[in-house]
Amino acid sequence: MSKNILVIGAGELGTQVLLALAKHPNLPLETHISVLLRPSSISTPSPQKASELEILRQNNITLVPGDITASTQSTLASLFSAYDTIISCTGFSAGRGTQIKLAKAVLDTKIPRYIPWQFGVDYDVIGRGSAQDLFDEQLDVRDLLRAQDTTKWVIVSTGMFTSFLFEPSFGVVDLSQNVVTALGGWDNRVTVTGPVDIGRVTAELVLRDEFVDRAVYVAGDTVSYEQVAEIVERVTGKTVERKVRTVMDARNDLAREPENGLFKYQVVFGEGRGVAWDVKETWNHQRGMHLQTAEEWARGNLL
């Protein structure tokens, strides 16, 4: 049983994981939850951030100061030694090398249970050398975990955040122009899950102690780009213009701007490999957990 849980980060996902754990009806009384935050975040002058941290405190979550970027692997290992379960909720924005450093620190300390930041696509299927070069580090983390048998682990494959599918900057849904653009083709599919639901699933996995040394797949929805266009039309009541962004177009743009993260993602999702799985085969569906669908999100946020 997890008695001392440390969540790394309290951003969009970390906050939902923390609250799902803290409010879970089956949380044992003796289980303590902490969150690792930069010292500057804890002492923030931002009223909004201060309010968010106060909500965590009200849910008996301890704020622990620490900087995963500035700290050495040995410093992190020392800090981690007080916990039996660690959940990394800090993503690619933490910088290159951070995920592998965290995994090594966890393994150095022989932490009993670990959930790495892998909340996303199926990196194994995508493989090394993809357009999104940050994905290779995710595979390095998986190699480390699979090469040992001391720390139990589980990877939570969720697809992209549902909101990002509808974010204009992603390049699929642009309501200002009334356009929906398919990446690669209209039959290409993408799996999406919202942060609240990812938090719910993660809490269930931790409290059920389902650290199965492999990836589990969850999904709020899996939709084709044609279905995305239909959802937008149903929700908004407007007919959208349909466009296709080919993989070649995205690759050509990436060649001109090799550090453009948007183009990297458009290539990966345009190729359509490792970014979608059937909802009926997911961990949550098999356990009767309904997660928010793409259309449910759209009806709550696009109107």
Query: Model confidence over 249-262: pLDDT tens digits?
Result: 999 999 999 999 99
Residue 92 has pLDDT above 90, yes or no: no
**How would residue 236 be classed by pLDDT, with cut points 50, 70 and 90?**
very high
- What integer is the mean pLDDT of 189-196? 98
**Residue 85: closest CA among 215, 225, 207, 257:** 207
The percent of residues in the chain predicted with pLDDT above 90, rounded, is: 94
> pLDDT band at residue 225, thresholds of 50, 70 and 90?
very high
Residue 44's pLDDT band (boundaries 50, 70, 90)? confident
pLDDT for 45 equals 78
pLDDT band at 124 (very low <50, low <70, confident <90, very high): very high
Domains and CATH numbers, the chain: 4-160+192-219+276-287 (3.40.50.720)
Q: How confident is the model at residue 179 (pLDDT cuts 50, 70, 90)?
A: very high
Residue 95 has pLDDT above 90, yes or no: no
Taking the C-alpha atoms of residue 247 and residue 265, their distance in angstroms, rounded to an integer, is 10
Give the pLDDT band (50/70/90) at residue 19. very high
Question: b vs e for 267-282, b when ≥16 Cβ sit within 10 Å of the residue's Cβ?
Answer: bbbbbbbbbbbebeeb
Q: Which of 87-96, 182-191, 290-299 has the lowest mean pLDDT?
A: 87-96
Beta carbons within 10 angstroms of residue 244's beta carbon: 14
- Confidence class for position 105, pLDDT limits 50, 70, 90: very high
User: What pLDDT does residue 64 have?
Assistant: 97
Q: How far apart are CA 264 and CA 277, in angstroms?
A: 21
pLDDT for 46 beyond 90? no
Report pLDDT for 211.
97
What average pLDDT does the segment 5-11 reach? 96
Tell whether the model's pLDDT for residue 94 goes beyond 90: no
Cα 247 from Cα 253, distance rounded (Å): 10
Ranges of H-type helices in the chain = 12-22, 39-42, 47-58, 73-80, 98-109, 123-126, 135-146, 162-165, 195-207, 225-236, 247-256, 261-271, 283-286, 294-301
The answer to whether residue 184 scores a pLDDT higher than 80 is: yes
